[in-house]
Amino acid sequence: MKAAVLASGRGSNLQALLDEWQDGQLPVEFVGVGSNKIDAEALTRAERFGIQVRTFPRESYADNSSQETDILNWLEVIGTELLILAGYMQVLSSDFIRRAEYPILNIHPSLLPSFPGLHPQKQAVEYGVKVSGCTVHFVDEGMDSGPIILQETVPVFAEDDADQLAARILKVEHTIYPEAVRLIANGKIKREGRRVIVLRDS
């Protein structure tokens, strides 16, 4: 399965995926990593693995639509069968989602549907929840609203600030994102409307 990644920043989730791939634990071929930020650390990480990178800085385009068209064309040319968002900090339009002919995955650092959108770890700390975590989901036309594939929990301690919680969640992200990609690549995921069924070996 040919996988492409879009990332905007640090790229630690991309790194986790690439590490498992290098260890032979991820049956996908990474065909490209794209970014809307020319200085994204994710690009350097991809280059270290010899993966093709492309940048699509928003300021180089007249509007979102022409930027997205360029991204979609590139994804098609490189043969994308699965698109993985890994800290891609630009909302994809409904038009993009409809035109993409492959599943799109995202990881969000909260237990959705709680705390969608920006700064979910800060939202969780301020709300006072005792448990948070992360969610891997299919992307639909809403904000962090697509069908949920996997979730994992972490405790929230009274003394936590948003950064401490973010660090605890990030560790778990690095396990469940590769796991979700592996399940998809191995054909272990069945979608029934909003419900995603994981077919575990019995």
Residues noted as catalytic = 108
Single-letter residue type at 187: G
12 is in an annotated binding site: yes
To ligand GRF, the closest distance from the beta carbon of 120 in angstroms equals 8
Site residues (CB under 6 A) for ligand GRF?
7, 9-13, 86-87, 107-109, 170, 173
Q: What string of DSSP letters covers 94-155?
A: HHHHHH--S-EEEEESS-TTSS-SS-HHHHHHHHT-SEEEEEEEE--SSSS-SPEEEEEEEE
58 is in an annotated binding site: yes
Residue nearest to ligand GRF (CB): 87
User: What's the min distance (Å) between Cβ of 195 and ligand GRF?
Assistant: 22
Q: Which two tokens mark 44?
A: 């350097």
Q: Is 118 left (phi over 0), alpha (psi -120 to 50) or beta?
A: beta
Annotated binding-site residue? 9: no
Min. distance of Cβ 110 from ligand GRF in angstroms? 9
Q: Which position has the token pair 């049956």?
A: 27
Cα–chain center distance at 86: 4
Tokens 């599943």 locate to: 103
CB of 201 to ligand GRF, least distance (A): 28
CB 143 within 8 A of CB 120: no
Angle, in degrees to the nearest 10, between helices 120-127 and 162-185? 120
Q: Which is nearer to ligand GRF, 76 or 163 (CB)?
A: 163
Residue list, annotated binding site: 11-13, 58, 106
Residue list, annotated binding site for (6R)-10-formyltetrahydrofolate: 58, 106
